[in-house]
Amino acid sequence: MKLTDLIDRFLAATTSGFSNETYTSYRRKLNYLVAFVGGGDVDPNLITPETVEGLKLFLTSRNKKRKGAKEVDGKLSPFTIYTNLKTTKYFLEWAYQNGFIDHDPMRGVKLPSEPKPKPKAVEQTVIVKMLEAAATTGEDWERARNLALILCLCDTGARVGGLAGADLDTLDLVKGELMVTEKGEAERPVFLLPPTIEALKTWLEFRQELGPLERTVFINKYGTRLTRGGIYKILRKVADAGGILDRS
């Protein structure tokens, strides 16, 4: 079996039921492994712990990175290197445990520690512009949702993915509390300020009118949950309307 065929099997087995974003992310990360070993026709049984150690060096010394759909000059960030190696580990261990390769290529290989990203400060003027744009851009229901969403992000510091999956049943508007589950973490409470609570009350009235098909707090016009990518798209749209994005 060729490496590309094994990757296809891995993706089919591990991303079924998940968003296309998960599938695309795994494939993009495993493309680095394919490039390093010399192409997709390679026999996966030829991948050894030494291969993985070489991949670590390849990623660290690489002077090209992806920016959107383009490849540009620059080093991969420590976080990108870490997530690429973690995905490679997941793939190779899956292949070994399911009998597709006859040895464990991760045996004795240590991954670098997960880097802790420093929070990026957002200027108060940017937040004000985002809130003003959210309150004036789109249809009534969009304005209500987007304003509540941005206020939630400001109040809680939660990851976008955490808010995307937040369940309506865990929202307590009396206590000003919402439960979120973020990547690699257990469920945790986040706390909401009075303006955000009021914005959520308004949004929930519109939410009901949309005919929700899922129990997530934030949904789209079809009644289904917002994905992480969908929230980023909303934030870009609002930032563009507020004149925050640099189009030069």
Q: Residue 77: its pLDDT value, please?
A: 85
Query: Could you count the other beta carbons within 10 Å of the beta carbon of residue 151?
Result: 23
Query: Could you count the other beta carbons within 10 Å of the beta carbon of residue 169?
Result: 9
pLDDT per residue over 17-65, tens digit each? 655 677 888 898 999 999 999 999 999 999 999 999 999 999 999 887 7
Nearest to 217 by CA among 192, 185, 183, 242: 192
pLDDT per residue over 44-54, tens digit each? 999 999 999 99
Query: Average pLDDT, stretch 105-126?
Result: 77
Here the tokens at position 227 are 């994905």
Report the C-alpha gap between 116 and 132 in whole angstroms. Answer: 32
**Which DSSP state fits 218?**
S
On average, the pLDDT of the chain sits at 88
Position 102 confidence tier, pLDDT thresholds 50, 70, 90: very high
Q: DSSP letters along 73-124, please?
A: ESPPPHHHHHHHHHHHHHHHHHHHHTTSSSS-TTTT--PPPPP-PPPPP--H
99's torsion region: left (phi>0), alpha (psi -120 to 50) or beta?
A: left
Report the C-alpha gap between 25 and 61 in whole angstroms. Answer: 21
240 vs 74 pLDDT, higher one = 240
48's torsion region: left (phi>0), alpha (psi -120 to 50) or beta?
A: beta
User: Strands 187-191, 177-181: parallel, antiparallel or unpaired by DSSP?
Assistant: antiparallel
Which residues are 178's β-sheet partners? 190
Give the total residue count for the chain. Answer: 248
Percentage of residues in the chain having pLDDT higher than 90: 66
Which residues are 179's β-sheet partners? 189
Q: Is the pLDDT of residue 185 over 70?
A: no
Q: Is the pLDDT of residue 201 over 50?
A: yes
